């Protein structure tokens, strides 16, 4: 199985992108809704949650792990790689690679939760590739709750987006990284507000491409991924909003299996 975890169901944007690109490989998903949001928590707390989530997925047959949550990826990737001896992917480095390749001016915008932007990980990774580049980042704490309320096309959401994107627009970024699981759901409203010539990078697609390349080049791991079996979607709490977001992301009803995380 391909194990994927997020703080909630937003990470299903990653699960969906993987399903599209690798339809015969099943995923086991864990959304930690009971302890979400991660984006406003301390790094120490998020690292502990990421360890718990990885153990849960390994217990459910995962042979590779995808950290679908940007907040967890930004603070816990190194710890998970040190603690667990299996391939671990995350949503940040593939997005950075895409952004670096797409940008011609080196002026790259990044939007994410407080935890992600505070970690500075996007700046570090982008500047390692383009030392003369300029990264302009913006914490967007209101966007996750707006998406969770299903307010994707509301006037209020467009106003909030305009507010958050304004400094990035003024800084003339030519590329914008959507550094949060939930933001791909707003991409249709982000593109016109940041400008039609700005390349918007959705990390969910980027990680799916990286995983596909890895599977093609590592047949011994591909052989352990239970090809042809069904995917399952576990959550540590179930809400109506979560059910709606999951259905919206996949375009079909998704059965969310409630778990305490240790079963």
Positions in the binding site for ligand DGL (CB under 6 A)? 6-8, 10-11, 36-39, 69-71, 113, 116, 144, 180-182
Cβ 177 to ligand DGL shortest distance, Å: 12
Q: Which residue's CB is nearer to ligand DGL, number 105 or number 120?
A: 120
Told to judge if 140 belongs to the known catalytic residues of this protein, a careful annotator would answer: no
Q: Considering 69, 110, 140, 194, which one is annotated as catalytic?
A: 69
Whether omega for the bond prior to residue 37 falls within 30 degrees of 0, making it cis, is yes
What distance in Å separates the CA atoms of residue 159 and residue 154, rounded to the nearest whole number? 9
Comparing every residue's Cβ against ligand DGL, the nearest one is 39
Residue 70: what are its φ and ψ, rounded to 5°? -65, -40
Please enumerate in sequence order all residues whose Cβ is within 8 A of that of 45, keeping only pairs 6 or more positions apart, or say none: none
**Exposed, middle or buried: residue 108 (CB in 10 Å: 0-12, 13-18, 19+)?**
buried
Cβ 11 to ligand DGL shortest distance, Å: 6
Q: Considering 180, 235, 242, 254, which one is annotated as catalytic?
A: 180
What distance in Å separates the CA atoms of residue 236 and residue 3, rounded to the nearest whole number? 15
Cβ 36 to ligand DGL shortest distance, Å: 4
DSSP letter for 236, please. Answer: S
Cβ 148 to ligand DGL shortest distance, Å: 8
**Exposed, middle or buried: residue 34 (CB in 10 Å: 0-12, 13-18, 19+)?**
middle
Q: Which residue's CB is nearer to ligand DGL, number 10 or number 106?
A: 10
Question: Within 13 Å and on the Cβ side, how many CA atoms surround 132?
Answer: 3
Cβ 262 to ligand DGL shortest distance, Å: 20
Positive/negative CA dihedral, 50, 53, 55, 60:
negative
Q: Which residue's CB is nearer to ligand DGL, number 7 or number 175?
A: 7
Question: Within 13 Å and on the Cβ side, how many CA atoms surround 94?
Answer: 23
Q: Which residue's CB is nearer to ligand DGL, number 98 or number 116?
A: 116
Q: Which residue's CB is nearer to ligand DGL, number 130 or number 152?
A: 152
**Annotated catalytic sites, by residue?**
69, 180
């Amino acid at each position: 199985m391909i194990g994927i975890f997020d703080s909630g169901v937003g990470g299903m944007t990653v699960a969906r992108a993987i399903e599209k690109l690798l339809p015969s490989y099943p995923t086991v998903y864990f959304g930690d809704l009971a302890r979400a949001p991660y984006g406003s928590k301390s790094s120490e707390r998020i690292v502990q949650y990421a360890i718990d989530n990885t153990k849960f997925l390994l217990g459910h047959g995962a042979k590779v792990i995808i950290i679908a949550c940007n907040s967890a990826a930004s603070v816990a990737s190194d710890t998970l790689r040190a603690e667990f001896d299996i391939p671990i992917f995350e949503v940040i480095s593939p997005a950075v690679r895409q952004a670096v390749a797409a940008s011609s001016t080196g002026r790259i915008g990044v939007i994410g939760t407080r935890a992600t932007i505070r970690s500075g990980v996007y700046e570090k990774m982008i500047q390692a590739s383009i030392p003369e580049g300029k990264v302009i980042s913006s914490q967007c704490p209101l966007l996750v709750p707006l998406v969770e309320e299903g307010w994707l096309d509301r006037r209020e959401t467009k106003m909030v987006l305009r507010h958050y994107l304004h400094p990035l627009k003024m800084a003339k970024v030519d590329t914008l990284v959507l550094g949060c699981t939930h933001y791909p759901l707003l991409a249709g409203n982000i593109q016109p507000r940041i400008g039609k010539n700005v390349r918007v990078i959705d990390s969910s697609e980027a990680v799916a491409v990286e995983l596909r390349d890895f599977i093609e080049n590592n047949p011994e791991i591909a052989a352990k991924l239970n090809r042809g079996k069904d995917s399952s979607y576990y959550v540590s709490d179930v809400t109506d909003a979560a059910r709606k977001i999951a259905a919206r992301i996949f375009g079909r009803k998704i059965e969310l299996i409630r778990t305490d995380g240790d079963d």
